[in-house]
A and B are shown apart, each in its own frame.
Chain A
Amino acid sequence: MSALAAEMAAKALQMGIPLSVQLDLTYRCNERCVHCYLDHRDHGEMATAEILDLLDQMAAAGVFYLTISGGEIMMRKDFFEILEHARARTFCVKLKTNGVLIRAAQAERIHALGVQSVQISIYSHRPEVHDAVTKMPGSLRQSIRAARLLRERGVQVIFANVLMRQNVRDYSGVKALAAGLGAQFILDPTITPMMDGDRSILDLNVDEAALREVFRNEALVGNAEEFCAPPQGPDADALDSLPCSAGHTACYVSPYGDVYPCVQFPLPSGNVRSVKFADIWRHSPQLNEVRSITLRDMPACSQCTHGGTCTRCPGLAYLEGNMRGPSYQDCEKSFARTGIASENLKSKKASSQPFPSSQLIQIQCLPPAEAIFNAGTPPESAANA
């Protein structure tokens, strides 16, 4: 984030403005990714008119950054009507898509509408790996075609690479593929639980050795020594700091109108079908509770040496049962990054409690990628996820 963007975020925080919103238009999707946290059935998505009205409300509330995501956004027949309305309301629009349905005509419209960026999920540079993750033969070829069509028109493209057991060796290949197309590259090493709380897909998380390797890859993290430096413990400023922007300057709206602090923090905080967006943002007891929490209020994390530098996600902590508690996944990331166990990990080990199924550390060694995938067939565990 640039200094100016940070300054604007600080001002929005002070003024109570929801600067950023992610709006999922649908949970329907034409891919069936093994790690996806969504229920793809349509349980009553907002109609076009409801979404257009919501966009008007969000613009009036001061929302600037609008991420339009899903599901696959282009599964909605009214997608371009919604996008056109969003741009007419001068949102800074970022799209998240798999790109499969983007042909030249769609790329042209996205360009003409002045979309800020298009983020496309790419799991591997190898079709047999990517297509096995999406369970859609030919999907890598189609996603790359979309990226190329968009780049040819000057649209900013970002390849989002979620790291999991299936593609643990491929992020460098995806990064090179992105560079070849003039696209940006981001790597996400976190598999999140299903929104209904089902944690079985967390078994797809990579093991600690792979995570450690990622955290020491200077092409990804910059100065690895600095990135992996031992934590110093939280100082007074850190203790009074806010966990992240969720609920403070950002929130999420589901296809059904439910408002959460973040897509990764499914704490129901109101529904725009019955309450105005601005009223939910200002008065929701749930959002106000989230806003009240500082590091000082977290019994375990405030005492932890990682407290000031941990990337703890309050949403993952919530999904583990306590939004004021630690998040196991982040404790294990801090451990992989620095080699120093968090207070939470130490206490779990001392009490001999089993790690929850969310653990990043896999006891079983990974087979080579070639062995995981056999002629495009996903592994049993993934197919059943």
Chain B
Amino acid sequence: MNDTRYMARSAAIASRPLGDETMVMSAASSTLFTLDEIATLLWESADGVTPLDEIVRNKICARYDIPPDVALRDAENFIQQLAGHGILLISDKPLAAANSSPRETR
């Protein structure tokens, strides 16, 4: 079983940093989300090609005192939530092509 997960920001969202948070708006549902500092790190790292465990190890655990297994479990729960709202795409294969332009997906 391949546990490697890739994530990419949906092209059908609007987003902007605001201080240490990030505002994210879904075009489909007009729902506004705010991501806190750690969630923003995950969001900004969601390039579709970097595996989630690598992001957690290099961006989260390197900065915060969180055990890697706990951080990974929390991150997986978090990205599932965002995927449920359609603002993040998750795959077991790299996703870069799916997020290259707002025109390609919604």
Contact = CB atoms under 8 A, between A and B. Distances in A.
Contact of A11 (B12, B19, B28): B19
A64 B23 CA distance: 8
Residue of A15, A62, A90, A154 most packed against chain B (CB within 10 A): A90
A154 B28 contact: yes
Contacts, number: 66
A115 B19 contact: no
Given A114-B12, A115-B27, A154-B28, A8 B102 contact: no
B95 to A, nearest CB: 17
Contacts of B104: 112
Contacts of A7: 34
Contacts of B28: 154
Contacts of A2: 32
A63 interface: yes
B13 interface: yes
A92 interface: yes
Contact of B14 (A5, A84, A93, A156): A93
Given A64-B23, A114-B27, A91 B14 contact: yes
Contacts of B14: 64, 90-93, 114, 116
Contacts of B23: 8, 64
Contact of A12 (B18, B25, B30, B33): B18
A111 interface: yes
Given A88-B102, A92-B25, A112-B104, 13 more contacts: A2-B32, A8-B23, A8-B32, A11-B18, A12-B18, A64-B14, A64-B16, A91-B16, A92-B14, A93-B14, A109-B103, A114-B102, A116-B27
A90 B27 CA distance: 11
Interface residues of A, number: 31
A3 to B, nearest CB: 10
A8 B34 contact: yes
B102 A87 contact: yes
A-B pairs with lowest CB-CB distance, top 7:
A92-B14, A64-B16, A114-B12, A114-B27, A87-B102, A112-B103, A92-B25
Contacts of B34: 4, 7-8
A19 B27 CA distance: 17
A17 interface: yes
Interface of A: 2, 4-5, 7-8, 11-12, 15, 17, 19, 59, 62-64, 84, 87-88, 90-93, 109, 111-117, 154, 156
Interface string B1-30: 000000000011111111101010101101
A109 B103 CA distance: 8
Interface of B: 11-19, 21, 23, 25, 27-28, 30, 32-34, 101-104, 106
16 contacts: A4-B33, A5-B32, A8-B18, A12-B18, A62-B17, A84-B102, A88-B102, A90-B16, A92-B16, A112-B102, A112-B106, A113-B102, A113-B103, A114-B13, A114-B14, A116-B30
Contacts of A116: 14, 25, 27, 30
Contacts of A8: 18, 23, 32, 34
Nearest to B101: A88
A87 B100 CA distance: 12
A2 B17 CA distance: 19
A111 B106 contact: yes
A156 B30 contact: yes
A19 B13 CA distance: 16
Contacts of A90: 13-16
A105 to B, nearest CB: 13
Contacts of A91: 14, 16
Residue of B14, B30, B103 most packed against chain A (CB within 10 A): B14
A134 B60 CA distance: 57
A114 B24 CA distance: 13
Residue of B16, B28, B102, B106 most packed against chain A (CB within 10 A): B16
Residue of A19, A64, A117 most packed against chain B (CB within 10 A): A64
A22 to B, nearest CB: 16
B89 to A, nearest CB: 14
Contacts of B18: 8, 11-12, 15, 17, 19, 62, 64
Contacts of B106: 111-112, 114
Contact of A59 (B12, B16, B25): B16
B81 to A, nearest CB: 16
